[in-house]
Structure 1
């Protein structure tokens, strides 16, 4: 029985892998993107209703988040259009909100639902660094990292419960969604790939920030500031991220490519 289950899991892995149109990497995909985006809308609205959203009409910071986010979104749209991949973003309805919280964090759900916490702004310090953060987080969404992690979670559960990989029931998908996007997402099978996803997010995040007219070189001092925060428990934004020195070294290696996309935009 165990051998049959393992065989089934292997088949599921092989036939459910798709090649990402932008990164070129094969990804496990057991859940349709449309379902993930629909779930994201529901969770996003619930999150906003339970947290203090800063009104952009009376806040320069909130207005900045929307401005930078919109420029990044436009750059991504242009990038995908130039690659003949506009359909990949057809269902994206971008939203950018600043939430009043000391937490040093920012994230983007599938479908373009973005939140920046006020706690990260003293670390970004300027629009270009914020653009680097948003480029990174939005890349996670457009590169299908959330769907990939959810699929890995389904596969991990299927190793224990026969048939669950193929069922894809909504209740199970919601549970996996919460595990992936919740603060306690600690499913062990996800961790080996998380750093690959982080490097992809760094790579394309730099490109998108540069295309939006922001100097990608601000990524290095930003991550240096993050590294200097210290403390035994890193900010949520750093969870499962590469070591600071490794990340900065990789960013420096990626910088020449990113700079080819950089065209400063006058304010």
Structure 2
């Protein structure tokens, strides 16, 4: 099955491993029978939820679909809810001063959760666009949240990602979110490496939504102020020209009117030889 007509050229050029429909989603029937189906799934739209304080519960926003009879949508909704719950557990674990018996009790619950999930772990390949090496929701979208549902920094389907949402405004990408205690570096503030990683993701999203597929060559981050935990943080990224295979992007991170960080990225459009060495050649 050839999908080039349905996938942005930028993604075909740079991340074909994301775009090959090599696998579907393996789901057991709810009856527990041996009959199983392969399903394609697309993560559905939804907001990251409340931005106030630690342990803020993440709730679907107005853009999310209600659970219906469509099994793909049900699975995606439940997977995102599981990621939100896991994210809150991670933050609570980071901050916990619970007595020993409560820690043991919580560990027991997590062991049960792992027992339920471990038999259904897919062997790969993996990509930000799709757990299964097939398609994310590429058709007719410039929404980076749908392009990269498993991103470690903005992915709704990745429990280690902070609740950050990217949106497209013309040729700009804007971000809004918060960082929990698990991202702490200096006291009460976000680790600088996390700030840099999120800015890298922002600038990469700028490239993709402008139909430019490229990999990070150089990322320069200037830290203007420490980034506070638990506060609403906004971001903005934009293109800044190109020179041959080099693509330039820049962006900022803000808390209110306070500039926290500035980033400039030089991205390189890679060729078929590089993709082949990485095992990303189109099949």
Q: Indicate the TM-score class for this superposition, using the shorter chain for normalisation.
A: under 0.3
Q: Which has the higher helix share?
A: 1
The alignment's TM-score, normalised by the length of structure 1, stands at 0.26
Q: Which has the larger radius of gyration?
A: 2
Structure with more of its chain in strand, by fraction: 2
TM-score in terms of structure 2 length? 0.25
